[in-house]
Amino acid sequence: MKTLFINIEKLLQVEESSAKWVAGSAMAVLSIINDAYLLINDNLIEDFGSMNDLPDFSDEQSLIEIDVTGRIILPTFCDSHTHLVYAGSREIEYVDKIKGLSYEEIAQRGGGILNSAQQLEKATEQELFDGALDRISEIISFGTGAVEIKSGYGLTTESELKMLRVISSLKKEVPIEIKSTFLGAHAVPHEFKNRPLDYVNLIIDEMIPRVAEEGLADFIDVFCDKGFFTVEDTDRILNQAVKFNLQPKIHANELDYSGGVQVGVKYNALSVDHLEYIGDAEIESLLNSETMPTILPGAAFFLNMPYSPVRDMINAGLPIALASDFNPGSSPSGNMKFIMSLGCINYKMTPEEVINATTKNTAYAMGIHKTHGSISKGKVANLIVTTQIPGYEYLPYAYTSNLIEKVMINGNFID
Ligand code: NIG
Ligand code: FE
């Protein structure tokens, strides 16, 4: 079946041949066709162009024509960093934070990630699956067409495998692309408090081989930061991961200049994420890498953390990706349109830059840039059709309005 969109006010993120990412000053440029058509064949993008050059499709059998006068079409968001499989919410910690406790203080009191681990231990796979499915349905309605999901609330071999099995089941159930990441090194569990190296060894000797044997993860992650895992721990974990073909995506430099960026780059991480603490050494290291610097504006906003020096990074020529970090502790939202607004407001990124950062660059950061992230012939037909809005700048500007009329995933509209 074919779908033909006609009279598209603006078709955004058009690419003749797909580049792996957008970096530096090029991030300020969006490739746009005004007054465009777009032809979808089954689940793929077949053709696009200006309405002035609209081919004669009158012979096509079963072609559905949709007039989208006044609407903008752009690729769906790729959300390359989430923890959306979890049991229970953490609004009580939210209140503690309002009353003045820091993220680290809450973690030290056994809250934070360890609180989620306790709740997850008691949850069945079915309960975890149902909760995550609701969250995925919600983010699809917000325009997300691909998502990475991490484990990391298990912290025992069995519970980590349980989380990853839930993610595998979700991959089969939902229409959007899911990538799974093993994050056993998210926090040191209570029982290892006084012997953290034993937990690192457990990850290396038991968890990584089991996860790889069962084919449950696409990537591996380590929270390499002050009070969590050291550069040495991270180096040992990644050294083992590489042997099992697990490419890293690292939580780095959220709480300090942790060395997480450099160790991520050393192991050819696909992305390093958070990056509140970034100086010249980190920028230099990233410039000589294939690693996508990924900012999580929702977490920095929710936790009142310092904002990453994104303008310095872009001026240095780096690409930037923006992801949601959807999780119950530091970012209880997977709304990527709001993430774009935060990118503009708090990081002084332009609307063009935040659109590049949430589509093309996040597609790279989750290893799907050949099939997702732009409007390109042969790529998956994952589209956002906006409501009638004055221009694409209106999307991050009107920060609480959804402005999404329809979402198409694999060539089908989602209800
Ligand atoms: O990305 N920083 C580490 N991990 C998560 C927080 C998870 C939590 O608090 O539950 C993050 O923000
Ligand atoms: Fe995270």
Per-residue pLDDT, 346: 98
**What separation in Å is there between the alpha carbon of 152 and the centre of ligand 1?**
9
- Are residues 357 and 349 in contact, defined by beta-carbon separation less than 8 angstroms? yes
Measured between alpha carbons, how far is residue 311 from residues 81, 163, 258, 307, 323 in Å? Answer: 21, 36, 21, 11, 17
Does residue 246 carry a pLDDT above 90? yes
Residue 273 pairs with which residues in a beta bridge? Answer: 251, 294
Give the pair of three-digit tokens for residue 381. 């037909």
* CATH numbers and ranges of domains, the chain: 2-76+374-413 (2.30.40.10), 77-365 (3.20.20.140)
The owner of tokens 């509209």 is 413
- Are residues 148 and 139 in contact, defined by beta-carbon separation less than 8 angstroms? no
Pocket test residue of 148, 150, 186, 295 for ligand 1, highest count of atoms within 8 A of CB: 186
CA distance 7 to 269: 42
- Are residues 100 and 37 in contact, defined by beta-carbon separation less than 8 angstroms? no
Does residue 171 carry a pLDDT above 80? yes
Question: How sure is the predictor about 153, in pLDDT bands with cuts at 50, 70 and 90?
Answer: very high
**What separation in Å is there between the alpha carbon of 183 and the centre of ligand 2?**
10
CA distance 376 to 371: 9
Task: Give the atom of ligand 1 at the shortest distance from the alpha carbon of 116.
Answer: 10
Does residue 108 carry a pLDDT above 80? no
90 CB-near residues (< 8 Å, 6+ apart): 111, 115, 116, 328, 329, 332
Which ligand is the nearest neighbour of the Cα of 249?
A: 2
Which ligand is the nearest neighbour of the Cα of 89?
A: 1
Nearest residue by C-alpha to atom 3 in ligand 1: 223
**For the residues of 360-371, what is the DSSP string, one character each?**
HHHHHHTT-TTT
Per-residue pLDDT, 253: 98
Give the pair of three-digit tokens for residue 343. 């990118």
63-67 and 44-50 strand pairing: unpaired
**What separation in Å is there between the alpha carbon of 223 and the centre of ligand 1?**
9
Per-residue pLDDT, 237: 98
Q: What is the pLDDT of residues 293-327, one digit of tens each?
A: 999 999 999 988 999 999 999 999 999 999 999 99
Task: Compute the radius of gyration of the chain from its Cα atoms.
Answer: 21
CA distance 45 to 42: 8
Mean pLDDT throughout 39-47? 97
Task: Give the atom of ligand 1 at the shortest distance from the alpha carbon of 274.
Answer: 1
Pocket test residue of 251, 275, 295, 326 for ligand 1, highest count of atoms within 8 A of CB: 251
- Are residues 376 and 46 in contact, defined by beta-carbon separation less than 8 angstroms? no
Per-residue pLDDT, 272: 98
Does residue 140 carry a pLDDT above 80? yes
Pocket test residue of 113, 250, 275 for ligand 1, highest count of atoms within 8 A of CB: 113
- Measured N-to-C along each axis, helices 336-347 and 351-358 cross at an angle, to the nearest 10 degrees, of 140
Neighbours of ion ligand 2 (CB under 5 A): 325
How many DSSP H helices and E strands does the chain contain?
16, 16
Put simply, whether the predicted model's pTM sits higher than 0.85 gets the answer yes
Per-residue pLDDT, 107: 74
Mean pLDDT throughout 203-208? 98
CA distance 74 to 47: 14
Mean pLDDT throughout 65-94? 96
